[in-house]
């Protein structure tokens, strides 16, 4: 697919007998349906060609008119005739900020995630070495770090003191949950003469950053607010994946493999693995797809039942019965996301954490208790509950995530220096993009119960679709 500034020409290519045939399908109007805010005109020539030791004419800058098509499906484009797009991320030829005067801040919020320190390191290194920024600061303990009453120190971030942090899990800046007053945060930014703020976090952080950007705009200040999406749940919209997800689910696969050995090692062995996933079951589903030893996977997007002929308990019993008939070893592995089955636990959402998120009841313990009760007079089940979630989220990033973190942070720096604001760096259709926070905060990415991905998960586990019916 080839994309131009305001007109997209959709092409199809076919290679046959070493010859390339190109078919022009249709011309469609391409609209930037997601415009990114700009602090002002970028008029300062970028220092990147010099810093990267290449000639200006050989250095490829990205123009603001470069767009990435939102929907690449031909039928969708042809149907609407208007193809909406994102602004492409990358270095700009002109900077908005004078690097010699810039003071930049970094804050990490929410739960831990592999790769946070990789992002911090890259931001500092890129600002310092490629743009010449000399003053960079870390705000401790999330948005609390801006509020004077908490008395958290502001940390100097230099190339020397971040050089090796990519080898560490967690965040060197620590974190916290819960909203803080945007007015106080902007006061702190002004007090410390911060022109750029990088916010690393999930959906709560993105909402908070948007509120900060709105307060900045209300005051008519020139402060860039740039977000790097962080969550192992992988539930940020307009971003195919978030950093840390690859590391988390690969380690979850190792946990499932060990759990399968545990289940298989006992007669009527049942192991429940509870993984993270509040409203989205991507870790649970991907882990189950990558590990064919999983027999049942339960996610928040799809209601299920445990009682009755079509419930989990009866299906588990049938599995034991079939294994016995086949003279095979009866055992089972169940993967469940933390947010699954909350209706079965009577969770009405009244209890909330500091960030306003629903406090989930323990679906893992609920399943273990009910399985034990159901099989008490049927089969001598040996049941184990494993919760590796807090271990896998605190690991250092694996090589794949480390590279992804580098790209995200690199593009965040370019966007900030160009004067972009109130946006996050996304990843869409194989390209890094600029996405306005306003549209990000309107949605949440979840698994489509009727989509191809979930169908493949069901095929892999072999679990009955009737499990997801209350009839």
What are the catalytic residues? 233
DSSP bridge partners of 12 = 23
Hey, CA dihedral for 432, 433, 436, 442, is it positive or negative? Answer: negative
Q: Where are the beta strands (DSSP E) in 44-195?
A: 44-45, 67-69, 82-88, 94-95, 103-108, 135-139, 154-156
Q: Where are the beta strands (DSSP E) in 215-303?
A: 224-229, 269-275, 296-298
Name the H helices within 155-281.
Answer: 159-162, 182-191, 203-219, 245-264
Q: Are strands 331-337 and 296-298 parallel, antiparallel or unpaired?
A: parallel
Alpha carbon of 2 to those of 32, 66, 69: distances in Å? Answer: 16, 11, 10
Query: For residue 364, what are its two tokens?
Result: 């893992």
Supply angle C-alpha 173, 175, 181, rounded to 5: 110
User: What residues have CB less than 8 Å from 175, skipping those under 6 apart?
Assistant: 108, 109, 110, 111, 112, 141, 142
Alpha-carbon distance 120 to 158, whole Å? Answer: 11
Q: At which residue do the structure tokens 């928040």 appear?
A: 300
Q: Where are the beta strands (DSSP E) in 312-428?
A: 331-337, 382-386, 420-421, 423-428
């Amino acid at each position: 697919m080839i994309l131009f500034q305001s007109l997209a020409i959709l092409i199809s290519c076919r290679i046959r007998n070493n010859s390339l045939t190109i078919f022009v399908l249709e011309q469609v109007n391409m609209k930037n349906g997601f415009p990114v805010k700009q602090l002002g005109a970028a008029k300062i020539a970028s220092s990147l060609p010099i810093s990267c030791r290449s000639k200006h004419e050989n250095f490829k800058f990205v123009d603001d008119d470069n767009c990435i098509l939102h929907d690449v499906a031909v039928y969708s484009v042809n149907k609407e005739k208007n193809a909406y797009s994102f602004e492409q991320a990358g270095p700009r030829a002109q900077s908005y900020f004078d690097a010699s005067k810039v003071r930049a801040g970094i804050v990490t919020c929410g739960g831990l995630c592999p790769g946070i320190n990789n992002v911090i390191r890259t931001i500092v290194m890129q600002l310092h070495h490629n743009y010449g920024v000399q003053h960079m600061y870390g705000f401790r303990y999330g948005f609390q770090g801006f509020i004077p009453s908490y008395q958290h120190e502001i940390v100097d971030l230099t190339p020397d003191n971040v050089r090796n942090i990519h080898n560490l899990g967690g965040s060197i800046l620590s974190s916290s949950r819960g909203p803080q007053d945007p007015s106080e945060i902007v006061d702190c930014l002004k007090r410390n003469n911060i022109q750029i703020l990088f916010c690393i976090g999930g959906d709560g952080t993105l909402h908070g950053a948007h509120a900060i950007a709105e307060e900045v705009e209300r005051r008519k200040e020139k402060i860039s607010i740039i977000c790097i999406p962080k969550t192992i749940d992988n539930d940020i919209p307009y971003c195919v994946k978030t950093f840390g997800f690859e590391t988390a689910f690969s380690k979850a696969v190792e946990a499932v493999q060990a759990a399968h050995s545990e289940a298989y090692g006992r007669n009527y062995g049942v192991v429940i693995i509870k993984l993270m996933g509040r409203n989205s079951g991507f870790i649970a589903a991907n882990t189950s797809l990558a590990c064919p030893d999983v027999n049942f996977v339960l996610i928040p997007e799809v209601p299920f039942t445990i009682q009755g002929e079509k419930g989990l308990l009866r299906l588990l019993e049938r599995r034991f019965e079939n294994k016995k008939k086949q003279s095979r070893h009866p055992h089972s592995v169940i993967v469940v996301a933390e947010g699954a089955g909350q209706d079965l636990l009577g969770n009405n959402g009244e209890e909330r954490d500091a960030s306003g998120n629903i406090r989930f009841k323990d679906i893992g313990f609920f399943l273990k208790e009910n399985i034990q009760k159901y099989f008490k007079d049927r089969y001598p089940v040996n049941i184990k509950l494993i919760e590796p979630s807090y271990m896998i989220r605190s690991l250092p990033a694996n090589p794949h995530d480390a590279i992804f973190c580098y790209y995200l942070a690199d593009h965040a720096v370019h966007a900030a220096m160009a004067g972009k604001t109130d946006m996050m760096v996304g990843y869409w259709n194989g390209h890094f993009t600029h996405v306005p926070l306003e549209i990000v905060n309107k949605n949440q990415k979840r698994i489509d119960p009727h989509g191809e991905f979930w169908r493949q998960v069901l095929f892999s586990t072999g679990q009955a679709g009737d499990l997801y019916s209350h009839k």
